[in-house]
Structure 1
Amino acid sequence: MNPIKALATYIEDQLNTSRKATKREVVIKEANRNRSSSSKSLLPSTNKTVIYRSDELPKYSKIFDITDRLSLDNSLKESYVILQSKDNESNLYIVCEESKAGLKVDNDYLQIKKRCVDQGFKVKRLFTTKNIIDITNSNFVSSVSKLKQQDEGVYHQLFDSILKKAVDKGTSDVILSVSNNKARVLMRIKGKVKFDTELPVEKARSLASVAYTSLAESGAKEPTYNERKPQDGIINRVINGTDVTVRLATVPAHPNGFDMTMRIMPLGTAQKEQALTTLGYDELQNNLIDFATTIPVGVFLIAGVTGSGKTTTLGTLIRKILRESNGATRVLTIEDPPEHRIDGATQIPVVRANKDSEETSPFNAAMRASLRSDPDVLMPGEIRDSESAKLLVDATLSGHQVYTTVHAPSMFDILVRLRELGVESSVIGSSSFISCLIYQSLVRKVCPHCAVNYYEYKKSQNKDSPMQATLTRLESTFEEKDLKNIKFRNESGCDKCDFEGISGREVIAEVCVPDRQMKNLFMEGRDEEAIQYYRECGGKFIVDHGKDKLLSGIVDIRDLEEKVGRIDMSDISLNELLKKFDNSKKKAPTSTLAGKKRSEAEVVEIKR
Structure 2
Amino acid sequence: MGAAARPASVVWGMATARYDDWPRRVLAAAAPPLPDNEPALVRQLAARLRLDVADLDAADPRARALLAERWARQFRVLPLHATDDQIVLATADPLDLECERTLAFATGRAVRFAVAAPSALAEAISAAYSDGSAANPRPEPARDVQMLSIEQEVAPPVLGEDDGGSVTHLVDEILADGVAAHVSDIHIEPEEQGIAVRHRVDGVLRHVRTLPRGVARSLVSRIKIVSGLDIADRLRPQDGRARVAVNGTAVDLRVSTLPASRGEKVVIRVLDRRSALRSLDAMGFHPDEHERIETLLQCREGLILVTGPTGSGKTTTLYAALQRLQQRNVNIVTVEDPIEYRIQGIVQVQVHERAGLTFASALRSIMRQDPDVLLVGEIRDRETAEIAIQASLTGHLVLSTLHTNDAASAVTRLADFGVAPYKIATAIKGLVAQRLVRRLCACASGRGRPAGEVERRPQAAVAEPTVCPQCGGDGFHGRLAIVEVLIVGPEFERRVAAGDSAERLGEA
Answer yes or no: same fold by TM over 0.5. yes
Distance 2:310 2:219 in 1: 26
Q: Which residue of 2 aligns with 1:405?
A: 401
Matched, 1:290 2:294: yes
* Structure 2 counterparts to residues 458-477 of structure 1, below 5 A: 471-476=451-456
Map of 2:495 onto structure 1: 521
CA contact (8 A) 2:335 2:351 kept: no
Cα pair distance change 1:393/1:498, threshold 3 Å: same
Among 264, 269, 272, which residue is 1:266 paired with?
272
Structure 1 distance, partners of 2:295, 2:235, is 49
Given that 1:521 and 1:529 are in contact with CA atoms closer than 8 Å, whether structure 2 keeps it comes out as: no
| 1:489 and 2:465 aligned | yes
Residues 1:215 and 2:226 are matched in the alignment:
yes
- In the other structure, the counterpart of 1:256 is 262
Counterpart Cα distance in 2 of 1:331 and 1:347: 9
SS in 2 for 1:499: coil
Taking a change above 3 Å as real, the CA distance of residues 365 and 167 of structure 1, as seen in their structure-2 partners, is: farther
Give the conservation status (yes or no) of the 8 Å contact 2:335–2:377: yes
Displacement, 1:421? 3.2
Query: Which residue does 2:437 correspond to in 1?
Result: 443
Give, as a single letter, the amino acid of the residue that structure 1 aligns with 2:364.
R
Distance in structure 2 (CA, Å) of the matches to 1:528 and 1:496: 42
Q: For residues 142 and 401 of structure 1, do their structure 2 counterparts lie closer, same or farther at Cα, with a shift above 3 Å needed?
A: closer
Structure 1 residues 288 and 143: CA distance shift in structure 2, 3 A: closer
Structure 1 residue 318, shift from structure 2 partner:
1.0
For residue 364 of structure 1, report the CA deviation from its aligned partner. 4.1
8 Å Cα contact 2:256-2:266 kept in structure 1: yes
Alignment of 1:34-433 (within 5 A): 144-146=86-88, 149=104, 151-152=107-108, 153-154=164-165, 155-212=167-224, 214-217=225-228, 226-253=233-260, 255-267=261-273, 271=277, 273-275=279-281, 278-323=282-327, 325=328, 328-348=329-349, 350=350, 352=352, 356=353, 360-429=356-425, 431=426, 433=427
What is the distance in 2 between the residues matched to 1:140 and 1:472? 62
Check 1:142–1:191 CA distance in 2 against 1; reply closer, same or farther (3 A cut).
closer
Contact 1:451 1:501 survives alignment (8 Å) = no
Which residue of structure 2 aligns with residue 505 of structure 1?
479
8 Å CA contact 2:375–2:398 kept in 1: the answer is yes
Aligned residue for 2:326, secondary structure, equals: helix
Aligned equivalents of 2:214, 2:342: Cα separation in 1: 37
Q: Give the letter for the 1:251 counterpart.
A: L
Structure 1 residues 270-309: Cα deviation after superposition (integer angstroms, max 9, x where no partner) = 945341xx42321221121111112221111111222211
Q: Over residues 300-325 of structure 1, what are the superposed CA-to-partner deviations in whole Å (9 max), with x where a residue is unaligned?
A: 111122221111111111111112x2
Alpha carbons 1:270, 1:342 under 8 Å: kept = no
Name the amino acid aligned to 1:475. E
Separation of aligned partners in 1, 2:398 and 2:255: 28
The CA deviation string for residues 121-179 of structure 1, in whole angstroms up to 9 with x for no partner, is xxxxxxxxxxxxxxxxxx99997243975731444443332222211221111111123
The secondary structure found in structure 1 opposite 2:471 is coil
Which residue number corresponds to residue 25 of structure 1?
none
Paired with 1:242 and 1:527, the residues of 2 have a C-alpha distance of: 48
Kept after mapping to 2: 8 A contact 1:186/1:196: yes
Q: In the aligned structure 1, how far is the partner of 2:220 from the partner of 2:245?
A: 19
Letter matched to residue 486 of structure 1: V
The letter of the residue matching 1:231 is Q
CA-CA distance at 1:398 after TM superposition? 2.7
What SS does structure 1 have at the residue aligned with 2:170?
helix
2:244 is aligned with what amino acid? R
Aligned to 2:184, the other structure's residue is in SS state: strand
- 8 Å Cα contact 1:450-1:494 kept in structure 2: no
| Aligned residue pairs, count | 358
Amino acid corresponding to residue 398 of structure 2 in structure 1: V
Q: Is the 8 A contact 2:407 2:484 kept in 1?
A: yes
The one-letter code matched in structure 1 to 2:295 is: F
Q: Aligned partner of 2:422: which letter?
A: S
Kindly state the Cα deviation for residue 451 of structure 1 after the two structures are TM-superposed.
4.3
Cα distance in structure 1, aligned partners of 2:183 and 2:478: 12
CA separation of 1:499/1:269 partners in 2, compared to 1, >3 Å: closer, same or farther?
Answer: closer
Give the whole-Å Cα distance in 1 for the aligned partners of 2:317 and 2:392. 20
What is the CA–CA distance in structure 1 between the aligned matches of 2:188 and 2:276, rounded to whole Å?
Answer: 29
Compared with structure 1, are the counterparts of its residues 167 and 143 closer, same or farther at alpha carbon in structure 2 (3 Å cutoff)?
closer
CA contact (8 A) 2:435 2:481 kept: yes
8 Å CA contact 1:271–1:341 kept in 2: the answer is no
Cα deviation for residue 487 of structure 1 reads: 1.9
CA distance change for structure 1 residues 192 and 474 in 2, over 3 Å: closer, same or farther? same
The letter for the 1-side match of 2:251 is: V
8 Å Cα contact 1:186/1:193 also seen in 2: yes
Deviation larger for 170-179 or 140-149? 140-149
| 2-structure distance, mates of 1:511, 1:270 | 21
CA contact (8 A) 1:267 1:339 kept: no
Aligned to 1:259, the other structure's residue is in SS state: strand
Residue 423 (structure 1) shift: 2.6
Q: Matched residues in 2 for 1:501 and 1:237: separation?
A: 30
Report which structure shows greater RCO (CA 8 Å, sep ≥6): 2
Q: TM-score, normalised by structure 1?
A: 0.54
State the shift of 1:269 in Å: 11
Task: Provide the rounded CA distance (Å) in 2 between the counterparts of 1:307 and 1:143.
Answer: 34
Match of 1:454 among 448, 458, 461: 448
SS in structure 1 of the partner of residue 88 of structure 2: helix
Cα distance in structure 1, aligned partners of 2:185 and 2:435? 17
CA distance in 2, matches of 1:144, 1:176: 21
The answer to whether the 8 A contact 2:278-2:316 is kept is: no
Mapped partners of 1:265, 1:436: distance in 2: 28
More helix by proportion, 1 or 2?
1
Take 1:442 and 1:174, find their aligned partners in 2: how far apart are those partners? Answer: 19
Q: How does the TM-score come out when normalised to structure 2?
A: 0.63
State the alpha-carbon separation in 1 of the partners of residues 243 and 274 from structure 2: 11
The sequence identity of aligned pairs, in percent, is: 29
- State the Cα deviation string for residues 469-507 of structure 1 (Å, max 9, x = none): xx243323x2x1x22x222333xx124534331132111
Kindly provide the CA deviation profile for residues 579-600 of structure 1, in whole angstroms up to 9, marking residues without a partner as x.
Answer: xxxxxxxxxxxxxxxxxxxxxx
Amino acid at match of 2:443: H
Contact kept in structure 2, 1:280 and 1:507, CA below 8 Å: yes
SS at match of 1:437: strand
Aligned with 1:374: secondary structure? coil
Alpha carbons of 1:143 and 1:341: their partners in 2 closer, same or farther (altered >3 Å)? closer
Counterpart Cα distance in 2 of 1:412 and 1:180: 46
Q: Secondary structure at the match of 1:399?
A: coil
Which amino acid in the other structure matches residue 334 of structure 2? Answer: T
Change (3 A) 1:162 1:529: closer
Per the TM alignment, residue 388 of structure 1 is displaced from its structure 2 partner at its CA by 2.6
Compute the displacement of 1:518 (Å). Answer: 0.8
Larger of the two Rg values belongs to structure: 1
Maintained 8 Å contact 2:307/2:403: yes
- Distance change (3 Å), C-alpha of 1:280 and 1:392: same
Q: Which position in structure 2 is the counterpart of 1:562? A: none
Counterpart-to-counterpart distance in 2, 1:240 and 1:351 = 32
AA matched with 1:201: R
